[in-house]
Amino acid sequence: MTIRSNMIILKPQMDPDTDIGGRLHRFPVTSHSAIVAARSDDLEVRQRAFETILTSYWKPAYKYIRLKWQASNEEAKDLTQGFFAIAIEKNYFARFDPTKASFQTYLRTCLDGFVANQKKSEQRLKRGGGTNTFALDFESAEEELNRHRVSDGITPDQYFYREWVRGLFTLAVEALRRSYDEKGRSVHFKLFEAYDLRDEQVTKLTYADLAREFSLNSIEVNNYLAAARRDFRRIVLDKLRETTGTEEEFQREARALLGIKIK
């Protein structure tokens, strides 16, 4: 152990009487690495892997191109489409070596190389330019960029990482919502949304407030929130596993993601 300072007071405790999970509950390992699957001989497996990677990375890639390469929104759209098109065509992801860097660093390096080449040769439109290879919601990405200014002093690399984290958490929140809707437990998600997805600027609700709002008692609120957080954590780690190449990289990224504050 190296860090022995930075003591943190934790949030209110979960109810020990909860019946969700339980002592014998085992963390289900449901997802597999899309990075590994990208090397598969099976075309269908490979396509699913590409979809996973694309879903996680297109938005950080788009914003990164806008920020680092000072590209216009149209140019950034084409470059993003072009990059993922060529990455899939040439199977960039299968060449990833987890012993050398993390996948996100690898992807960012490939992206930089691609954009630099495109800019140099001015052949941007040759690959994906003006075409819509993938149905990506660039409008929402652009809106986020306009609405939330990039903080001063943040490097493009840090920005890429931060946006990747934001993307990962956003996908996890959506997956949690879908999962609870399917199970008919939408109240779990609504509680989670009301309590944990609120911006800090807004006055913080108490469990008693939530109990009143949702016609539950405080213990139910406590238990439902604990379950939602536990499921959220599981989904985040599942998604992280999908976008990491090895167990070691997964462990490293999980520590970085959950243990160290981003700027």
Partner 1 sequence: MRWLSDNTIEHLRSITDDPDFSATKYKVVKEIARGGMGTVYLAEDIELGRQIAIKVLNTPELDSGLARRMVREAKIIARLEHPGIVPVHDVGTLPDGRVFYAMKFVRGSRLDEYAAQVDSIKDRLRKFQAVCDAVAFAHAHGVVHRDLKPQNIMIGSFGEVLVLDWGVAKLLPAASSEADTLILPGTNCDVRTDKPIDTAHGTVIGTPRYMSPEQSLGEVEQLDERSDIYSLGAVLYFLLTRQAPIERKTAGATGQSATTVSIQRPRELNSKISKAAEAICLKAMARSAADRYPSAVEMSADIGRLLDAEPVSAYRENTVERIGRWLGKNRFLVLLVLAYLLMRIFFILTAKR
Q: Which residues bind partner 1 (CB under 8 A)?
A: 1-4, 6-11, 13-16, 18, 20-27, 29, 140, 144, 147-148, 162, 165-166, 169-171, 173-174, 196-201, 223, 226, 229-230, 232-234, 236-237, 247, 250-251, 254-255, 257-259, 261-262
**C-beta of 85 vs 218, nearer to partner 1:** 218
Q: How far is the CB of 166 from partner 1 (least distance, A)?
A: 6
Q: How far is the CB of 134 from partner 1 (least distance, A)?
A: 16
DSSP SS3 for 33: coil
122: alpha, beta or left, given left = phi > 0 and alpha = psi -120 to 50?
Answer: left
165 Cβ neighbours under 8 A, 6+ residues apart? 257, 262
Residues 88, 134 contacting (CB under 8 angstroms): no
DSSP SS3 for 83: helix
Q: How far is the CB of 91 from partner 1 (least distance, A)?
A: 29
Angle separating helix axes 218-242 and 156-182, nearest 10 degrees: 120
> Residue 167, class by beta-carbon neighbours within 10 Å (0-12 exposed, 13-18 middle, 19+ buried)?
buried
Q: How far is the CB of 44 from partner 1 (least distance, A)?
A: 26
**C-beta of 183 vs 198, nearer to partner 1:** 198
Residues 242, 56 contacting (CB under 8 angstroms): yes
* Short-list 175, 53, 149, 36, CA closest to 104: 53
Q: How far is the CB of 137 from partner 1 (least distance, A)?
A: 9
Can you tell me the distance from the alpha carbon of 135 to that of 15, in angstroms, rounded to the nearest whole number?
44
The CB density around residue 75, as the number of other CB atoms within 10 Å, is 18
Q: How far is the CB of 2 from partner 1 (least distance, A)?
A: 6
Q: How far is the CB of 148 from partner 1 (least distance, A)?
A: 8
**C-beta of 27 vs 212, nearer to partner 1:** 27
**C-beta of 55 vs 73, nearer to partner 1:** 55
Residues 195, 213 contacting (CB under 8 angstroms): no
**C-beta of 54 vs 236, nearer to partner 1:** 236
CB hemisphere CA count around 32 (13 angstroms): 9
**C-beta of 120 vs 147, nearer to partner 1:** 147
**C-beta of 79 vs 171, nearer to partner 1:** 171
